[in-house]
Chains A and B, each alone.
Chain A
Amino acid sequence: MVLQAVGLAHSFGERRALAGLDLTIQPGVLTGLLGPNGAGKTTLMRAMLGVIQPDAGHILLDGRPVTFADRQRWGYMPQERGLYPRMPAAEQLAYMARLHGLDRRSAQRRARALLDELGLADRWSERTEKLSGGMQQRLQLGAALVHDPDVIVLDEPFAGLDPVAVAELSVALRERVGAGRTVVFSSHQLDLVQDLCEDIVMIDHGRTVLAGRVDRLRSSTGRRHLRLGVAPGAPRDWLTAFPEVHVVDDQVDALRLDLPAEVDPLAVLDAARAAGPVTDFGLDLPTLSQLFLGALGQDSSDASGAPDGGLDGSAA
């Protein structure tokens, strides 16, 4: 099912959280939602799920306005986790499944199956408050997936997970996407999003600033990064011949250069070799974090060294 937001606007008092936001999320494609802190990601998701009523705009499902019954078939994992602390893990999932319309027996069956999948099978009767933070997070994810939803909306599902859990969750999401579900999640781990997602939507100040296929977005700028391994302490003065080239990263024995479309990488490489030995080299497309910073109106070449806006994983 195609999930769409059209002209979504919402304010909290004086503060505009969403300012006429449009986006489209395709089924069968994993979509990452990016944006700096306060961009409006959480507000967008809450509006999509009907937790808050937006001041203006619509949520469409396959082109028609979404109904309450449609949302019965959705799954949502909020950024601020919410579970009944004293409820046993399996009961928690079964309760959520029943709220989504499953009968008692299938709710219990699904709850057990999902606990298995989430690696919590041995904790099914344990009170939620006795689980570790990461386990509770997995349980929260389970609450969003237990009824096998058509549309899955996850707000920062990867935050706080260990690398093994990250890999497991990635597999779980890819499985759902492979089964044709509509899946969108928000994250600040841009490397992860770059590896995992086909599509991204980037928002800032309540508006969509960048959206589309990750690979196309990366190649569409025409910019590339030239990676050079040089002798320690080699001179850098040859760079003055290329005023359009920006130094992204400068270490004792390595250089990372940002090349606009019109600069020939081979010419830069030749100049470097003329100045001294080059031990290693490579040409990369700009990373998602550079696109991210670029889309936020900052020059990607001079902001990449010190990422701000609370990004993690932005170092190239």
Chain B
Amino acid sequence: MNTTHWSGVRLVAGRTITEGLASRSWRIMTALMLLAGLAVVVVPRLVGDDATSYTLARVGDAPDALLSQLQATATAGEFELTVVAVPDVEAARAAVRDGDADAALTDEGPSGRLYVAAQQVGTFPVLVSQAVVSLTLTERLVAAGLSPDEVEAIRATPPPEQVPVGRVADEGRAGVGFAVGIVLYLALILAGTTVASAVATEKSTRISEVLLAVLRPRQLLVGTVLGVGALALGQIAALVVPAMVGVVTSDALDLPAAAATDVLLGVVWFAAGLLLYAFVFAALGALVDKPTDVGSATLPANAVLIGSYLLAVTVTVANPNSWASVAASLFPLSAPLVMPVRWASGLVPGWQLALALVLTVAASVWLARFAAQIYARGLARSGRRVSLREVLPGWTDRS
């Protein structure tokens, strides 16, 4: 297209953005998003993360070898270890019971006792037990006459490699995928509704009549979608950027590195999904006569979004590689919600991600053309609610 085409689009988008920035609802929403983004970083720190430090209470003398072994495990497992000495078994039990220590090691019996809280969860007691067993084993091997080198060789026996199968490769990352899914869903619904109301308002205030006399419908449509899209991306950025910065610069949130890519990918999917859905929402918005009817007019698009979201958080989270999940993550209408969730399972081949993106973008281009026709016909019929049937391209309403 020529330069006037894009300058028209730019003017429409610019005006949409100016009005959006000045509107109270946008400011409030963005402030809320920003707060939510900051909360993701700040709240876990306030609540405190007790999982990253353990206290071991000890009665009597533990050999230095045991302590250094535990310390090594702590460094490898990225937790802090504090060892406190308590006078007797009674004090050890009390420390564990009152939560002052996560576990208490005594030298009762032939191989000592490990006191743990009744509802103890986590791996700390197992680690301590392992260290004790490993140390005892070494002592006995030396006692049996093996040289320190032989003992070292035995201890170096590699454990079997762990390969995750089935559900997800990483629970923490899957959680990120889940969060991305919720945010994407809400953001798409919000942006779609905003586009539809913007169109409906322009139509009902008859501004579209003035605009259509100087702009092509497609310029108006694309400009409005780009403007609202930019505003929505701004809101998402307000949510995601502080959260990402917080996650990267601190380790308060114990997330795998891949989670950062998952979130960025979520933003990419938001852009793709917005492109796809915004045109549909705009076309539906052009059918109404009063802005208050936007809700019922956009019901079909909302239903598809809700359906995709439910699919993502039920079927896909439960089994990311079932045929239904694969299909839904490739099908353009559901891909923007299902693929990011599925991707976070860590079990998706790269080519499927690429294919889903290509399909979605291709579908948006096709849908944009289709929507532009509905949009133009919808805008031209003012004064009443227009049915989808009479504006479908290729449909003649004089039959």
Which residues in A have some Cβ–Cβ distance to B below 8 Å?
11-14, 46, 49-53, 68-69, 71-72, 74, 76, 78, 80-87, 95-96, 98-101, 143
Contact = CB atoms under 8 A, between A and B. Distances in A.
Interface residues of B, number: 25
8 contacts: A50-B213, A51-B213, A52-B380, A83-B207, A95-B11, A96-B210, A99-B8, A100-B214
B4 A101 contact: yes
A10 B369 CA distance: 24
Given A11-B398, A76-B213, A84 B382 contact: no
B252 interface: no
Given A11-B398, A50-B212, 8 more contacts: A51-B212, A51-B213, A78-B213, A81-B206, A83-B207, A95-B11, A95-B15, A100-B214
Contacts of A69: 4
Contacts of B380: 46, 51-53
Given A51-B380, A68-B216, A86 B19 contact: yes
B211 interface: yes
Tell me if A's interface is mostly helix, strand, loop or mixed: loop
Nearest to B220: A99
A93 to B, nearest CB: 12
A82 B11 contact: no
A74 B390 CA distance: 30
A143 B4 contact: no
Q: Is the interface of B mostly helix, strand, loop or mixed?
A: helix
A143 B205 contact: no
A49 B398 contact: no
Given A76-B210, A80-B382, A143-B210, A98 B205 contact: no
B209 interface: yes
A-B pairs with lowest CB-CB distance, top 9: A82-B206, A82-B207, A49-B213, A76-B213, A80-B206, A78-B209, A51-B212, A52-B380, A82-B210
A207 B215 CA distance: 28
Contacts of B208: 82
A268 B22 CA distance: 73
Contacts of B210: 76, 78, 82-83, 96, 143
B215 A99 contact: yes
B343 to A, nearest CB: 42
A74 B11 contact: no
Contacts of A143: 210
Contacts of A98: 11
A101 B4 CA distance: 8
Nearest to B205: A82
Contacts of B19: 84, 86-87
B212 A99 contact: no
A74 B398 contact: no
A99 B11 contact: yes
Task: Name the residue in B19, B207, B214 with the highest tally of chain A Cβ atoms < 10 Å from its Cβ.
Answer: B214
B97 interface: no
B8 A12 contact: no
Interface string B369-387: 0000000000011100000
B397 interface: yes
Nearest to B5: A68
Contact of B213 (A12, A53, A74, A87): A74
A13 B381 CA distance: 11
A300 B178 CA distance: 78
Nearest to B10: A98
B205 A85 contact: yes
Contacts of B209: 46, 51, 78, 80, 82
B226 to A, nearest CB: 16
Nearest to A12: B381
A213 B390 CA distance: 42
A71 B214 contact: yes
A72 B398 contact: no
Contacts of B211: 82, 99
A78 B4 contact: no
Contacts of B397: 13
B205 to A, nearest CB: 6
A85 B211 CA distance: 15
Contact of A78 (B8, B206, B381, B390): B206
A88 B19 CA distance: 11
Among A13, A14, A68, A99, which residue has the most Cβ atoms of chain B within 10 A?
A99
A154 to B, nearest CB: 12
Contacts of A12: 381
A84 B20 CA distance: 13
A223 B288 CA distance: 51
A76 B207 CA distance: 12
* Residue from B8, B206, B213 with most neighbouring chain A CB atoms (10 Å): B213
A104 to B, nearest CB: 10
Contacts of B215: 99
Contacts of B398: 11, 13-14
Interface in B310-348: none
Contacts of A49: 212-213
Nearest to A85: B205
A32 B22 CA distance: 42
